[in-house]
Amino acid sequence: MSRPDRSDRRLLTVVDEAMAEAARRAGPHLACRPGCTECCHGPFPINRLDARRLCAGLAELAERDPERARAVARRAREQLPLLREGFPGDAETGVLWDDDEAADPYFTRHGALPCPALDPATGHCDLYVWRPLTCRTFGPPVRIGESDLPPCRLCFQGASAEAIEACRVEPDPHGLEDRLLGRAGDEETLVAFALAGALVGA
């Protein structure tokens, strides 16, 4: 699996800089810390860019720490039988259908399932540098397209609506991700499906 290309690295730079600004504005209102796993439970859709990035990260981890990489792949594979039950898409390939009516109860049902990249012993993400954009933008209030998303429920405790709004950022204001997906394809999957076969024989 190749490393993310220049365009994807540029996307990550834009998003990470925006989120760093959000964290600066939020200051002590932001509860996100290493070991906090509030956003690391429950499956969610990831796109082809996210999946490619995660697999590249797992391959890099395998070179540095083969045991940890095998553990990530193993956790992903162990989740597949559960995730395939009632999967709102192709349960073999892991490609999701565009069907919110079927997807919403499915994601709710699996809301407590930990991400395969989450190390249960440390509470840290083994693929943090390579994490999907959803993970990168969780915590502060953000604007994605025309939608204003609220902050994590653990953040901004006791803050006024005005204080929260003052911290809102737009991680991808120029729609770079959408342009890249126009070339890569807009199919979505889950983290477990993306990682399960990334290390054959692991």
Encode pLDDT of 43-63 as tens digits. Answer: 999 999 999 999 999 999 999
Per-residue pLDDT tens over the stretch 109-163? 999 999 999 999 999 999 999 999 999 999 999 999 999 999 999 999 999 999 9
27-36, 59-68, 165-174: least confident range: 27-36
Q: How many helices (H) and strands (E) does the chain have?
A: 8, 6
3-class secondary structure per residue, 131-166? CCHHHHCCCCCEEECCEEECCCCCCCCCCCHHHHHH
More confident residue, 183 or 188: 188
- Between 116-125, 161-170, 179-188, the lowest mean confidence (pLDDT) is in 179-188
Q: How confident is residue 199, by pLDDT bands cut at 50, 70 and 90?
A: low
Which CA distances in Å does 21 have to 16, 130, 134, 151, 161?
9, 20, 17, 15, 19
* Distance (Å, whole) CA 40 – CA 21: 22
How far apart are the C-alpha atoms of 55 and 199, rounded to whole Å?
9
3-state SS, residue 44: coil
Give residue 186's pLDDT: 85
Q: Is the pLDDT of residue 200 over 50?
A: no
**Tokens linked to 91:** 């349960």
> pTM of the entire structure?
0.91
